[in-house]
Amino acid sequence: MASRTLSRVTKALLAPALALGATVGLASAPASAAVWNSCDQWGQTNLNGYTLYNNIWGSGAGSQCIWANSGTNWGVWANHPNTGGIKSYPNQTKAINKSITSLRSLSSSYNVSVPSSGAYNTSYDIWDTDHDYEIMLWVNKTGPVGPIGSSQGSVSLGGHSWNVFKGTNGANEVFSFIRTSNSSSGTVNILPILKWIKDTKKWMGNETIGDVQFGYEVTSSSGGLNFTTNNLTVSSS
């Protein structure tokens, strides 16, 4: 469950601690010719048709800084404590705003470098415009992390084999596709997955797909870990 919003009260409570952590984290961010960087809790920018978000949304978070060489090449340094609960979902977002039946294609290619320690997943987070449905595609995971809901079996779709889970977070339905083995690069044909949910399982109707996000859902990264998106593109027609 990768959230992008918090209540105004929660933001106010988290802001002082995160501001202090960001001061420390800034010195640990990668030294590069980045065109943008931010240690702000809700830092964001638009580059090359994508929006990048630092997105430190969970309670008990530490510090995190995001940097970008372009809209498709970016990374984060995250130092979150070894406690339970998701702390952040730094991500790259592409707006789609088309219904499933009006899409002729929707695919994405990814190439990442991720740590061997910590607790996190690397995932796509796909939303309908009403935020009633959330489709997560986990391409890799490390540590004690798992999806919401109950197992719905396995399926091969979009060029990958997945273990499927279905549940709710109290605000929206969540359909999670967990790759059966970790991958650091590849191409995902997203449209057949959406059609399978709609037509085969009938878990949702002809929803309008709002955003396709890709990022790192970090639970813990004590001491500071680097997550790098070497390249990530989303294409649709």
Take residue 198 and report the two structure tokens written for it.
């709609």
Residue 117 CA to residue 29 CA, distance in Å, equals: 18
Task: Give me the mean pLDDT over the 10-31 stretch.
Answer: 43
pLDDT at 139: 99
Reported as a single tens digit per residue, the pLDDT across 121-136 is 999 999 999 999 999 9
Domain ranges of the chain: 8-236
**pLDDT at site 13:** 37
pLDDT for 190 equals 99
Average pLDDT over residues 217-235: 99
Confidence band (pLDDT; 50, 70, 90) for 2?
Answer: low
Per-residue confidence (pLDDT) for residue 33, from 0 to 100 = 72
Tell me the pTM. 0.88
Average pLDDT, the chain: 91
Which residues is 234 bridged to in the sheet? 108
Q: What homologous superfamily is domain 8-236 in, according to CATH?
A: Glycoside hydrolase family 11/12, catalytic domain (2.60.120.180)
Residue 12 pLDDT greater than 90, yes or no:
no
pLDDT at 61: 98
β-sheet with 185-189: strand ranges across: 36-38, 63-70, 73-79, 225-236, 106-113, 185-189
Mean pLDDT of 30-36: 73
- With a cut of 90, say whether residue 32 has pLDDT above it: no
